[in-house]
């Protein structure tokens, strides 16, 4: 069973956990009232999009999939990130 953990997917998972903790560190509350903060928002949204990309590419095996599926899946992630950042920016 442990042989399965010597797998590139495990390294991807470890990186995903590290950047999850990093995003929590960036966005964590300190007991003080939450303030509008573009740096935190852009940081956590970029990390979320990177995590989504890794899950699509490696766990969902889209890296091996046909071109239409690659374009659709990666396109969804990029379009979502762009729209979220756009509407956040418009609200500032």
Sites of contact with other proteins (CB under 8 A): 1, 3-10, 13, 16-17, 20-21, 23-24, 26-29, 33-38, 40-41, 44-45, 47-48, 51-52, 55-56, 58-66, 69, 72-73, 76, 79-80, 83-84, 87-88, 90-91
Least Å distance between CB 67 and other proteins?
A: 9
Q: How far is the C-alpha of 67 from the C-alpha of 88, rounded, in Å?
A: 31
Least Å distance between CB 51 and other proteins?
A: 5
Vertex 46: Cα angle to 45 and 50 (nearest 5): 115
Q: How far is the C-alpha of 58 from the C-alpha of 68, rounded, in Å?
A: 17
Q: How many CB atoms lie within 10 A of CB 23?
A: 19
Least Å distance between CB 71 and other proteins?
A: 11
């Amino acid at each position: 069973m442990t042989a399965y953990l010597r797998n590139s997917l495990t390294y991807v998972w470890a990186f995903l956990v590290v950047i999850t903790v990093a995003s929590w560190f960036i966005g964590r509350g300190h007991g003080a009232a939450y303030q509008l903060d573009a740096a935190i928002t852009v940081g956590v949204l970029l990390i979320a999009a990177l995590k989504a990309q890794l899950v699509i590419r490696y766990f969902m095996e889209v890296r091996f999939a046909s071109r239409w599926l690659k374009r659709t899946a990666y396109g969804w992630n990029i379009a979502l990130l762009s729209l979220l950042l756009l509407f956040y920016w418009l609200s500032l």
